[in-house]
Amino acid sequence: MNIPFNDFASPYQELKAELDEAYARFMQSGWYVLGREVEGFEQEYAAYCGTKYCVGVANCLDAMHLVLRAWNIGPGDEVIVPSNTYIATWLAISHAGATPVPVEPDGRTHNLDPAGLAAALTPRTRAIMPVHLYGQPADMDPIMAFAGRHGLKVLEDAAQAQGALYKGRRAGALGHAAGHSFYPTKNLGAFGDAGAVTTDDPELAGRLKVLRNYGSQKRYYNEVIGYNSRLDELQAAFLRIKLRHLDEWNERRSKIASCYLEALQTEIGSRQSEMTLPFVPAWASPVWHLFVIRHPQRDVLREKLAAAGIATLIHYPVPPHRSGAYAGLRLAQPSLPLADTLAAEVLSLPIGPHLTEAHARQIAGALNESLNLLAG
């Protein structure tokens, strides 16, 4: 067996005719920055998410940073963020000059626990950034209610959740704004870097269009200190094609996840295992960006799977508060034990629209075998 974690070749192979046609159209258009493809994608992606606006930017880190800037969140301000997330969520806050204030996750979903918000609130709190981690929406209703009571903005980090539903509504349409990543590994992946913001707020969308383009609305007239963070025209052309296949590809991920859950649950049920499987609350329709299990002897399991030819990854081995980047950050709540435990125990199995169910069953079989060996 030789199963890689990501399959980058198959998406192109499946959509080759459409993608090649888009490339030729782009090359012949003679217009390479902020043109019809970006505009078309923005409209189509906003419609898909169910928001009024989409503003394409260079990547998700920029998307989130620019939203915070547009909201005038900066030095002296605090933004509540999950302790368990990819570091980009924290970096967006730091780049805006504000301070990340972590809240621990719910132990079952690994997403921000709304019960932790009250303790993190100070007079400086301006916003909350829930992350829909692994493709599963965060519990947004209590988060929005809390934000409403305290006059806070809510910025979703939807990088891993294109298409996910929370009580029937799409990730990206649940907060006041959302950052999206189209990095190649994401569910809606470009062939390079790309990102976007979705929102219903016309004023925010307008400010973002200015900020992404050197702070300029009218050429050579610069109203604010802006950035160069535009969604690339060619990537937009590719994304328009991939968006048409997103639901089907998410459905395929879902089938793989069902295979895993079935094969692993039976095994867990048959004896006392220390392994934890992904937990999906009744109100969530996840899109399975990642399939993450938990085990106290994660590293041993990982080695055994590697020996069987199965690549796995760890999302993430170092929580942001333990990273060198935040060595100097003094946290009001210095101990984040759940984030630490998750970093030590989580393991991501291969999942994607081009992984076969036969492979998924083989992977589950190899995992069950490794668990048996561990159990002695």
Ligand X SMILES: *Cc1c(COP(=O)(O)O)cnc(C)c1O
Shortest distance in whole angstroms from residue 315 CB to ligand X: 8
CB 366 within 8 A of CB 310: yes
Sequential DSSP letters for 339-360: HHHHHHHEEEEP--TTS-HHHH
CB of 66 to ligand X, least distance (A): 12
Of 82 and 353, nearer to ligand X (C-beta) is 82
Measured from the CB atom, is 185 or 273 closer to ligand X?
A: 185
Rounded distance between C-alpha atoms, residue 70 and residue 126, angstroms: 13
Report in angstroms how near the CB of residue 88 gets to ligand X at its nearest. 3
175, containing H or E segment: none
47 membership: H or E segment, kind and range:
helix 36-49
β-partners of residue 292 are 348
The minimum distance between CB 63 and ligand X, in angstroms, equals: 7
Give the span between the Cα atoms of 131 and 85, in whole angstroms: 7
Tokens of 170: 């799409």
Residues in touch with ligand X (CB under 6 A): 59-61, 85-86, 88-89, 131, 157, 159-160, 181, 183, 195
With respect to ligand X, which residue has the nearer C-beta, 156 or 267?
A: 156
Max Cα distance, the chain (Å): 71
Nearer to ligand X, 116 or 179 (CB): 179
Nearest residue (CB) to ligand X, 136 versus 368: 136
* Contact criterion met (CB below 8 Å) for 36 and 235: no
Q: How far is the CB of 256 from ligand X (least distance, A)?
A: 19
